[in-house]
Structure formats: structure tokens, C-alpha cells
């Protein structure tokens, strides 16, 4: 049975909805899921699970959220050694750098030696039914990676 960590950053709950959806879906599929806010998570915790999922908003002009900065920096010191990961997140297409924090985390996890189990998923503001379909495919790809 796969163990999965979902670490998320969210101010107005769009990314919390994504994390909650993924948590429910993985649980339905028989995985053991642990969900926490990035601000309360040590990056080293990622080493304890079979699959790591990061869910984040993007802030300022395409930046990592303040509450995710420490966690992001800690990822650089990890040796993920082929561990499967995926990154998703809600941003806003009203901004020039739509969902860029998602790409930053994806790159950091890859550079730390993670195995990308799915393409990233970016959501425009609140997730709708189409987004949930994309998130389901994202979750399935991670389980199969
Ligand atoms: C001041 C500010 C700056 C933002 N900058 C960006 C940005 O550069 N790129 C982006 O995709 N979204 C940007 N956003 C939009 C948020 O990432 C988006 O609303 C997201 O859904 C918030 O997620 P949350 O509800 O989980 O907090 C910005 C929002 C605010 C309030």
C-alpha cells in the first residue's frame, strides 16, 4: 500500500481544495495519505513516504509564497534518490507568470533527485470539474509511476 505525503500552501483555500481532493482520491485508491501545510512541514519529512505531492499557489510576480520559502530552500539539501513526486497548484491567469511557483517546485524536486511521476497541473483560481478530471489523471499517473 503506497504512502503519500501531500504538502500544500494556501491562503484563500483554492489549493487546500486541490490537496483535499487529491487526499480523498488517493485514499479511495487504498493509499495511506498524510496532508499538511507546507509552513508546518519539514522538507525532510518527504523522505518518509513513497510518493510526494506539493500543491502551491503563486504570489507577487510569479514567486514562491512566503510561507513556502523555507520548505523550498530545504528541498535543495534533499537526496530524493528516485522518489516519485508530483506538483500541482492554483494560480491566476490574470497574472503574467501563471502558476510559476509550481514550475519552481517541479524543478527543485527534479534537481534533488526525484522522479517526476506526472506532468504538473495548473489550475486557474478555484478548481472546477475539468480541473478535477486533470487532477484525477495526475493522481493516477503518480500511483502508476
Ligand atoms: C498579490 C497577489 C499576487 C499574485 N501573483 C500571482 C502570480 O504571479 N501568478 C499566479 O499565477 N497567481 C498569482 N496570484 C493568484 C493566486 O496564486 C491565486 O489566487 C491562487 O488561487 C490562490 O490560492 P489559494 O486560494 O490557495 O491561496 C496572486 C495573488 C495575489 C493576491
Residue range 42-66, pLDDT digits in tens: 999 999 999 999 999 999 999 999 9
CA 66 / ligand 1 centre spacing (Å): 12
| Ligand 1 atom showing the smallest separation from residue 16 Cα | 26
- Residue 104 pLDDT > 90: yes
Q: Span 124-129, mean pLDDT?
A: 98
* Closest to 57 in 3D by CA, of 5, 22, 101, 109: 101
Q: Span 24-32, mean pLDDT?
A: 98
User: What percent of the chain is predicted at pLDDT more than 70?
Assistant: 100
Q: How far apart are the first and last CA of the chain?
A: 14
The verdict on the CB of residue 125 being under 6 Å from ligand 1 is yes
Which pLDDT band, with edges at 50, 70 and 90, does 145 fall under? very high
pLDDT at 112: 98
- Residue 1 pLDDT > 90: no
- Residue 103 pLDDT > 90: yes
| Ligand 1 atom showing the smallest separation from residue 63 Cα | 8
Complex ipTM > 0.95: yes
CA 10 / ligand 1 centre spacing (Å): 9
- If you average pLDDT over every residue of the chain, what do you get? 98
User: What percent of the chain is predicted at pLDDT more than 90?
Assistant: 99
Domain parsing of the chain, residue ranges: 3-144
The residue whose CA is least distant from atom 5 of ligand 1 is: 59
| CATH 3.40.50.10800 for domain 3-144 | no
- Residue 105 pLDDT > 90: yes
Per-residue b or e along 10-31, where b marks 16 or more CB atoms closer than 10 Å to that residue's CB: beeebbbbbbbbbbebbeeeeb
Amino acid at each position: 500500500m503506497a504512502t503519500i505525503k501531500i504538502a500544500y500552501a494556501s491562503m484563500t483555500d483554492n489549493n487546500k481544495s486541490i490537496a483535499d481532493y487529491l487526499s480523498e482520491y488517493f485514499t479511495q485508491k487504498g493509499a495511506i495519505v498524510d496532508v499538511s501545510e507546507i509552513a508546518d512541514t519539514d522538507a525532510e519529512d518527504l523522505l518518509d513516504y513513497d510518493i510526494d505531492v506539493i500543491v502551491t499557489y503563486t504570489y507577487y510576480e510569479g514567486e514562491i509564497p512566503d510561507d513556502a520559502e523555507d520548505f523550498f530552500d530545504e528541498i535543495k539539501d534533499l537526496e530524493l534518490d528516485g522518489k516519485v513526486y508530483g506538483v500541482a497548484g492554483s494560480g491566476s491567469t490574470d497574472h503574467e507568470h501563471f502558476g510559476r511557483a509550481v514550475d519552481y517546485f517541479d524543478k527543485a524536486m527534479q534537481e534533488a533527485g526525484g522522479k517526476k511521476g506526472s506532468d504538473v497541473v495548473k489550475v486557474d483560481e478555484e478548481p472546477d470539474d475539468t480541473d478535477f478530471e486533470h487532477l484525477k489523471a495526475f493522481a493516477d499517473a503518480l500511483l502508476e509511476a
